[in-house]
Amino acid sequence: MEDSVDRPSALDIVRTRSLASLVSQEIEAMILDGRLPAGERLNEQQLALRLGVSRGPVREAVRGLERSGLVVSVRNQGSYVRSVSAAEALEIYDLRAALTGFACARLAGTATPAQRAELEALVLRMEAAREADAAPAYYAANLEFHAALLTHGGGPRGLRIYEDLGNELHLFRRRALVEPENMRESNAEHAAILAAITAGDAAAARVAGEAHIAGGKRRFQATDASRPAMPGAVEPVVTARRRRRAG
């Protein structure tokens, strides 16, 4: 993400993006970083007041988030941050594996030298982060690596689907545990993917890509993350009583 290329001024932002899209972006961020935990009720008035807008844009934003799978809505009752079960999380891993394998296979045949160099640089960055035991840096580079994989190999649609699935995964567990041993294993898999792509071996790249996500799934299951974050966080039902004034 280059900030120096285009820095949209506040005026440009207001001029090109509607309030609803900004509100959507903000609510999505609030959900992903945990300010709005899974199962939480979204109070339109409260959100509108907090963001300094009216309820209209908030409602539009929530409707978009509902389509993307982050929110569920019940008529006359409200919208809730989605709760993702452990079984669903595993399903999401499988879908991501299929998508990643597809992107890797395709990239093996179509990768340009620049794309290969980009991926290699990211692997090196992750290796450096691992040696420095810098989990946040590794985490960021890992995200970039996978985004590059999907962008170049899966196109904009593949990337968007992948990211939506990732967002749903965040709903279950805010952040994957990044342990030193995991970083080593994970980046070895990254290197395998890159090697297969560089070799132009589509089948091997696909296997490597799928194996990497499967490895992530396995590492995820190995942690205590298979238990839901909130034991009582179930899907909203009509008979469920909504709690009053949580804040």
Interface residues with its own copies (CB under 8 A)? 15-18, 20, 56, 59-61, 63-69, 73, 75, 88, 91-92, 94-95, 98-99, 101-102, 106, 154-155, 157-158, 161, 165, 168
Span of 130-138, 152-160, 215-223, 236-244 interacting with DNA by CB under 7 A? 236-244
Strand partners, 81: 71
- 25 touching DNA, by CB under 7 A: no
Label the pairing between strands 78-81 and 41-42: antiparallel
Cα distance between residue 180 and residue 231, in whole Å:
29
- 228 touching DNA, by CB under 7 A: no
CB of 149 to its own copies, least distance (A): 14
- 245 touching DNA, by CB under 7 A: yes
- 10 touching DNA, by CB under 7 A: no
Considering beta carbons, is residue 56 or 180 the nearer one to DNA? 56
Q: Which does 241 bind (CB under 5 to 8 A by kind): its own copies, DNA, none?
A: DNA
Output the 3-class SS for 182-229.
HHHHHHHHHHHHHHHHHHCCHHHHHHHHHHHHHHHHHHHHHCHHHCCC
